[in-house]
Structure 1
Amino acid sequence: MKQMQSIVLFIFLCAASPLYSQIVTIDGIPKDTAYTPYSAWVKIKKDYPNVTRVYPDLPDGVKAENNIVYVTLPDTPYGKRDLHMDVFRPGKCEEYPALVMVFGGGWRTGSKEAQVPMAQKIAAQGYVTAAIEYRLSPEALYPAAVYDIKAAIRFLRANADKYGIDPNRIAITGSSAGGQLAALVGFTGNMEEFEGDLGNNEVSSNVQAIIDMDGILDFTTPSESLGDNTPGKHSAGYYWFGATLKEARDKWVEASPMIYAGKDSPPILFINSTQPRFHAGRDSVISVLNTFDIYSEVHTIPNSVHSFWQVHPWFEETVDYMVSFLDRVFKNEEK
């Protein structure tokens, strides 16, 4: 009953406070409820009144398993802590490529539920999709989120037979902050300093493809630290790193995916809004990948805003780009 009351409180606060940061405690853990699919829709429709919300809709033939515990953190400041994922897969007993899906929200807010509609839709196209939870900055600073996501990949690879996954065909995607995390995780492969020790460490956290939706690749670009120059305000990076760029430049650089692009990087798809801030580092990464003849693809959605993936009609266009790219990489289907 206590857990149910907490969930109800969380849903109410997300709906009632769509535009402002508000820290609440859910099951003893601090959560920022500011960014939800609802709040994104409210903000976007001010300038685009014809956009409509995207809702979960499980397609026929797709199986769902919700709130799978992929790791238990035994000792945190908030006690024992489970991290969860929702897995969607085609109904046939076959082996499919997998897509790990990372939500966005400035490394501070958001939830895995935001990725569920997209996860359901892509699963119907012949993929096992996993919308994952990870720790946000009110709970744990960088690099905790990186450790969590890599643990989720290792969990899926270790349990590939159970979920019908081809362990040699795993991709990762994310939107906004989730896009930055997806790129960082994807480009760092099995680098020990990013692995953490959250279970299944004998299994690789490598991925074979990356999809980045408006996630930055360079934290040192001025737009990311601009908020720290305003008295009484801070950037999203400050809250995640626990320090400004000037105070801890090494951390901000270390978390910039662009510095890890190289000869072993997987193919990557960029799906972008028309807002230049969220393209930071993209062209530099593509230049490096081109040097090693590694495939990359860019789609900029015309007249779009950040969070375009959260509303119709951009949701459908985004899914089409994603599936086309995944088919090309994993099924040798050029479209």
Structure 2
Amino acid sequence: MRRIEGVEYGAVPGFRPLELDLYLPDGESTAGAVEVPVIVHVHGGGWRLGSRRRPLPRLGADFYPAMVRAGFAVAAIDYRLSGEARYPAAADDVRAAVAGVAEIMASHGVGAGQVFLWGDSAGGHLALLAALTGPAVAGVVAWFPVTDLTAMPDTVDPGTREALFLGAPAADVPDLAREASPISHVRADAPPMLIMHGDSDTLVATTQSVDFAAALTAAGGSAELVLVPGASHFWDGAEDVAALHRRSLDFLRKIVES
């Protein structure tokens, strides 16, 4: 596996450069040969914390390498956090990464095949939103995502993660909150989506995923919903997190092979 750190994928005046890390298969340049499918990974952290360098803790340092061993390249991205810029900044950044990842990979000698999105928690929200409102992707994996900002427990407190992301409490900006919610953009031609959520999640209610999957299916889209017994946020309480990772990779591999 080759790791290329600090690749700039975007520049917004007044902000730090937008960067990603590439995880690529070993070997000579694949340009002109078989294209490698790529996962654009979006980290969580309530839109205000987190880094591409620190993926989900319970999977440790093997999180990205396991994706590469499964036949994918990975673009692990950072995006503007809520302390830097409010919505739609983070969503714009994810869309920009998706739009530019093939060219970035080509500049490092690797042809990009199908592009996928994968995110957890706030990153799952951004992955779903970008997939529904941005450049086309082939599929999405979202772990314990926020899907409806208007249905979060506290829509009036200006100090919640959601309010900091939006720039105001959801109750004060209902139209903006709906626009920023993936559930508002479900459509029949959406890419296939795997939604995984712990059935004991106390930070982001399981209903966020259940309602989103139902809405996408009702719209004619394809949603596979997996509720993980005993698991809370970040897969705390889950018996085998590595198995959840493998199941997610299997979902994407089936799309590649179809």
For normalisation by structure 2, the TM-score amounts to 0.86
**Which deviations, in whole Å up to 9, do the C-alpha atoms of 1:116-143 show, x marking residues without a partner?**
6422211111001111010101111111
Alignment of 1:139 with 2:84, yes or no, is yes
Aligned residues: 245
Aligned counterpart, 2:246: 320
Q: Which residue number corresponds to residue 87 of structure 1?
A: 22
Which residue is equivalent to 2:58? Answer: none
The corresponding residue for 1:45 is none
- Quote the Cα distance in structure 2 between the aligned partners of 1:326 and 1:224: 34
Corresponding letter in the other structure for 1:208: A
User: Does the 8 Å CA contact 2:231/2:238 hold for their aligned counterparts?
Assistant: no
The within-5 A match list for 1:1-335 is 62-73=1-12, 75-76=13-14, 81-92=16-27, 93=30, 94-115=34-55, 117-163=62-108, 164-167=110-113, 169-189=114-134, 205-225=135-155, 228=157, 234-274=159-199, 275=201, 277-291=204-218, 294-308=221-235, 314-332=240-258
Pair 249,157 (structure 1): closer, same or farther in 2 beyond 3 Å = same
Is 2:144–2:209's contact at 8 Å kept on the other side of the alignment?
A: no
For residues 318 and 65 of structure 1, what CA distance do their matches in structure 2 show? 26
Deviation at 1:224, TM superposition (A): 4.8
Report the aligned-residue RMSD: 2.3
| Alignment deviations for residues 1-39 of structure 1 (CA, whole Å, 9 cap, x no partner) | xxxxxxxxxxxxxxxxxxxxxxxxxxxxxxxxxxxxxxx
Query: Helix, strand or coil for the counterpart of 1:114?
Result: coil
Q: Secondary structure at the match of 1:225?
A: coil
Query: 1:267 is aligned with what amino acid?
Result: P
CA distance in 2, matches of 1:188, 1:124: 30
1:43-99 alpha-carbon deviations (Å, 9 max, x no partner) = xxxxxxxxxxxxxxxxxxx111111111222x21x5xx2111111121243411110
Computing the radius of gyration from Cα coordinates, the structure with the larger value is: 1
Structure 2: gaps (5+ residues)? 56-60
Percent of aligned positions with the same letter in both sequences? 26
Name the amino acid aligned to 1:82. P
Query: What is the alpha-carbon distance in structure 2 between the residues aligned to residue 182 and residue 141 of structure 1?
Result: 17
Structure 1, unaligned stretches of length 5 or more? 1-61, 190-204
- The 1-side partners of 2:154 and 2:99 are apart by 31
Determine if contact 1:209/1:267 at 8 Å carries over to the other structure. yes
Alpha-carbon distance in structure 1 between the residues aligned to 2:206 and 2:121: 10
Contact 1:271–1:300, Cα closer than 8 Å, also in 2? yes
Return the TM-score normalized by structure 1. 0.67
8 Å CA contact 2:213–2:225 kept in 1: the answer is no
Greater length-normalized contact order (CA 8 Å, ≥ 6 residues apart):
2
Which residue type is aligned with residue 106 of structure 1?
G
CA distance in structure 1 between the aligned counterparts of 2:218 and 2:4, rounded to whole angstroms? 41
